[in-house]
Amino acid sequence: MMSFEESAKKLKTLTGGAGRPRNRRLLQFRERLIKLFVLGCAIFSVATTASIIFVLSSETLSFFRTNTSVASESTTLTVTSQQIDEAPTLENWRIVDSTKQESLLTDGDFKAVTTESGTVLVPTDELSKIDDDDGTVTGWKETGARHAEVGLGEFLGGTEWNPLLGEEKQFGIWPLISGTLLITAIAAVFALPIGLITAIFLSEYAPERLRNTVKPILEILAGIPTVVFGFFALTVLTPGLNWMGELYNSLAKGELVFDTYNAMSAGLAVGIMILPIVSSLAEDALRAVPKSLRDGAFALGATRLDVSLRVVVPAALSGIMASFLLAITRAVGETMIVALAAGGLAQMAYDPTGPAQTMTAYMVQIFLGDAPATGVEYKSSYAVAAVLFLMTLALTITGNIILNRFREEYE
């Protein structure tokens, strides 16, 4: 055991000599800078979240406020400045052909000019070109009643989603929700049990050298781009499922056939993607359980399996549930895998052998340029994103409640 003089000498050697008094003002200035930096990061995070909520809310309200007028044909008329001033402004409006139900113009702002032959809808951009007191403009004769393009009841209660094709557009969001839930359920059923079993093995059974080798490999798996998982689902999982289906059909005389794009392969690929999240976080929670609990159970004659399932897992239940919820939230928001492997058919998804479309895949489809940036189809992506945000928020709140319910604290 070293004496006090030897300890002081060694400390002096490690620190490079005798300590020097530190400038108090410099320390206070540094602490203030650190405090301001941390405060700025917190404000930036809150402002970013608030901005996202504001954009989603405003664009979603704009989606529901998009109104429609039915027009028969284009017409040219001469308007006066008085007529322009008296005409009501129709903001964020759409004009639809009375026969084909197709949009005649992109959405925009119009003036409803009253004439002897009826109401003519004139774009405000057209009116801005008039330099004189009166001038000739082009508009559309309104022949039907004005109505909202999409109602809240139709959006939340409808079971048909067809905003891009067909004469009558449908905006019932349940096909997208059902596709999202189906693929998430498949991923959860696959990944959660396997991830938990892997975590128990690494925490309670695996030698230290094996654990130090396997866990980094799992964490590397979490860094693979999701587009790779999408192509893996198309080139490996779907052919494998079809092979298993053919085997089942030959043995049981069934008719199990998987489409080229199907929910099962997409769900399995998403499950493989979230598997490292479950196994890594759950393993950390299991290893955080005090060793004294294990020793006490072994002292009472419990086997390793008893200790793992009856002592360690219940003690780490809050951390395990946190890993489950984080993985499920990640699966709900996955984009590229489902966009590549699940298909783009929005339908009520009950059959995992057929195609399905998730909310994120629909947003990818919209932002590829199939819809005009001012159209109601484009704005519907923000409404879908708002529903997805509310779903993940509900999962987060549920997770906090579960964590507080099952949290264990040890001294």
Residue 381 lies in a domain: yes
Residue 4 pLDDT: 63
Q: Specify whether the CB–CB gap between 346 and 161 falls below 8 A.
A: yes
377-405 as b/e: b if 16+ CB within 10 A: bbbbbbbbbbbbbebeeeeeeebeebeee
Residue 309 lies in a domain: yes
Residue 43 pLDDT: 94
Q: Are residues 174 and 299 in the same domain?
A: yes
Residue 207 pLDDT: 86
Task: Tell which residue, 92, 131, 137, has the closest CA to residue 110.
Answer: 92
Residue 196 pLDDT: 92
What range defines the domain where residue 75 resides? 64-149
Q: Are residues 393 and 350 in the same domain?
A: yes
Residue 230 lies in a domain: yes
SS3 161: strand
Residue 188 lies in a domain: yes
Identify the CATH number of the domain in which residue 387 sits: 1.10.3720.10
Q: Are residues 136 and 189 in the same domain?
A: no
- In DSSP terms, 93 is beta-bridged to 67, 108
Residue 298 pLDDT: 85
Q: Specify whether the CB–CB gap between 122 and 137 falls below 8 A.
A: yes
Rounding to the nearest 10 degrees, give the CA dihedral for residues 102, 107, 111, 115.
-10
Band of pLDDT at residue 15, cut at 50, 70 and 90: low
pLDDT in tens, 132-166: 545 777 777 777 666 666 777 778 888 888 876 55
Q: Specify whether the CB–CB gap between 111 and 90 falls below 8 A.
A: yes
Residue 183 pLDDT: 93
Residue 294 lies in a domain: yes
Place of tokens 């004009």: 95
- Count of domains observed in the chain: 2
pLDDT in tens, 260-274: 888 999 999 999 999
Q: How many residues does the chain have?
A: 411
Q: Specify whether the CB–CB gap between 120 and 138 falls below 8 A.
A: no
Residue 20 pLDDT: 60
Please provide the distance, in angstroms rounded to a whole number, between the alpha carbons at the two ends of the chain.
31
Residue 350 pLDDT: 84
Share of the chain above pLDDT 70, in %: 84
pLDDT in tens, 212-261: 888 888 888 878 888 899 899 988 998 888 888 888 888 877 778 888 88
Q: Are residues 179 and 265 in the same domain?
A: yes
Mean pLDDT taken over the chain:
81
pLDDT in tens, 350-391: 888 888 888 988 888 887 766 666 667 778 888 899 999 998
SS3 141: strand
As a whole number, mean pLDDT of residues 337-357 equals: 85
As a whole number, mean pLDDT of residues 289-307 equals: 85
Higher pLDDT, 94 or 40: 40
Residue 224 pLDDT: 86
Q: What does the alpha-carbon distance between residue 47 and residue 49 come to, in Å, rounded to a whole number?
A: 5
Q: What does the alpha-carbon distance between residue 363 and residue 341 come to, in Å, rounded to a whole number?
A: 15
Higher pLDDT, 37 or 125: 37
Q: Counting Cβ atoms within 10 Å, is residue 350 exposed (0-12), middle (13-18) or buried (19+)?
A: exposed
Residue 272 pLDDT: 92
Q: Are residues 118 and 202 in the same domain?
A: no
pTM of the model: 0.77
- At residue 119, what are phi and psi to the nearest 5 degrees? -90, 135
pLDDT in tens, 76-108: 777 777 777 777 777 667 777 766 555 566 667
Q: Specify whether the CB–CB gap between 334 and 268 falls below 8 A.
A: no
As a whole number, mean pLDDT of residues 198-224 equals: 85
Tell whether the model's pLDDT for residue 288 goes beyond 60. yes
Residue 7 lies in a domain: no
